Every structure is written in C-alpha cells, then in structure tokens.
Amino acid sequence: MQGCVGASGALDIRGLVALNGSWRGGERRQGRCGFRGWVRVERRFRCDASARRGEVKKQEKGGEECGCANGDLTTASTSSNGRSPDVEGAIPGLILPPLTTVGKSTNITWEGCMVKREERQRMLNQKGCVIWITGLSGSGKSTLACTLDHALLQRGKLSYVLDGDNVRHGLNNNLGFSAEDRAENIRRVGEVAKLFADTGVICIASFISPYKKDRDACRKLMAPGDFIEVFMDVALEVCEQRDPKGLYKLARAGKIKGFTGVDDPYEDPQEPEIVMKAVNGEYASPQEMTVQMLAYLEENGFLKGT
C-alpha cells in the first residue's frame, strides 16, 4: 500500500522513500501524499489519520513537518549514485547506503531491520539453524524430517520442514531435473532456509541434493555452525528395495531419465555433521534418529535462546 508506514518506520510516497529514518530519492516528479498527512516522530514517519487529506499536521510535542504541505511532494533529480541531492541535504548528517548490483538486479540496497536475530531467538528460546538432510531417494530423509519436526513441536520449539517434493509444487515448479535446474532448485531452497534461520526458526531441509558443490554453496550462506548436514548413508540396493514411490522401478525401465543413483550420480558428503548409517546391518528407526538429532541440537545450544 503506497504511503503506508510499518513497524520499521518505512514510508513510501511515490518517488521519495524513508526507511528506518533515512531517505532515498527517485526521479523528479510531482506526487501526492495520499494519506491524510504525515508526522515525523524520532526520525521515523507515521500516517496521522486525524488530519485532513493533503495537509501536514505537526505533532503536539515538537513534531516536524515532513515537507509535503498541501499534499504535493517534489523530489529532486537523482545524483550520479542514484540518490536525490536535495533530499540528502534536507536531513543533516544523513548517510545513505550505496546502490548496488547483485546478479541481474540493479539499483538495490540492503535495508537493515530493527528487530535483530538475537531478539527473535530470545523470544523463541531457541537458535535458528538449518538441518540439511541429504541422501538417495528412499533413504528416509522425509520421514526423519517429519519425525524431528513433531518432536521439536512437542518440546515447544518452532521448526519448519522444506521438502524436496513439496517445494516443486510451488516455489520451484518451473524447474526440472537437469543439472542446471537441480542447482537452481537447491540455490533457491538454500536462500529460503537462510531466511528461516535468520528468524530464529529451526529449518529442516529434506533434499536429495546430489551435488557437493550445491550443498557447499548453501553452507556458505550460513554462519559457522548454523548449517547441520545430515547424511542418510543408506545403500542404493536398500533404497531400491524400499522404493516407496516406485521411482527406481520406473528409472530401471527407462521411463525416468537422470534419476539419482541409477543414471545420475550422488556425491557423498565428505564432512557431514551427522551420519545416519547401518550398525551391524541394522538401520536406526526414525524415532531413534530423532533422539540423536535432538541430542546434537541440545549439546550445541540450539534449543535455548541465549
């Protein structure tokens, strides 16, 4: 909604933007406030619903006008760095972050949030992290992820599962299974998982993620220690015997091409934090693996906020 102010104090008035007390200018043009008047309060702005449309109302205790009297606002032409020199000069001491280019996105900045990760973690009484469960199809990734998710809920902890099949129903439904699409699939999931971790949530990502370089790229997004790689070290023949979705049978019949473990490689993790493998020929149950996972989270401080 144009001109609306959120908890962060962000104000958008058609070409002139105030974010957390700082201004960014757009191109020269006339604009209208559109929301009954604006009041500046401690370097932030709010919409004053009691003022008449197009007027600026001062705060009772020394508030400053925002400069859009009569409902009109003119922003200056931008400077060489994409900023409005008139706006920059209007607020003494104001330092604006530079505009940058990231990938194909141009003229963007990183806007900080007033609520810090540490504050969210204290509120949740836990620490955000990404538990990345990787392994062949049929190795038990999704089963472990869901069992762990329920166990954390029972402990009063907030977690969320990103499942390989589920994300392809929405976020990644435009991707196939070529090497390039697999890489983009994991890249997107890594970025989403990082957002969960930044909010203090324990994110459980369950993906075949067959290529080491893609998993390593996700690890690099996280702070040291916040990426917990769990390798489901289950033999191919065991996974093929289980074949809960019938995919191995289809792949062996040539009806699925590029299937991991059949005609596409899986690269084992070299230094995962946790390995789930057979002991004396027996694989642990999902409940037993969950106990192991909870112990790791407890020992490494993820189940408390400080």
First vs last Cα of the chain: how many Å apart? 37
Asked whether 258 and 177 are in contact (CB, 8 A), the reply is yes
CA 190 to CA 222: how far, in whole Å?
9
Asked whether 32 and 73 are in contact (CB, 8 A), the reply is yes
**105 counts as catalytic:** no
Find the length of the chain: 306
Nearest one of 96, 93, 101 to 112, comparing CA atoms: 96
**Residue appearing with tokens 């003022």:** 51
Tell me the residue type at 160: Y
Tell me the residue type at 82: G
**Which alpha helices (H) appear in the chain, and where do they start and end?**
85-90, 117-124, 141-154, 164-167, 179-198, 212-221, 236-242, 247-252, 286-299
- Cβ neighbors of 222 (< 8 A, separation 6 or more) are 129, 130, 194, 197
Catalytic residue among 77, 80, 209, 285: 209
CA 288 to CA 295: how far, in whole Å?
11
Catalytic residue positions, numbered: 209
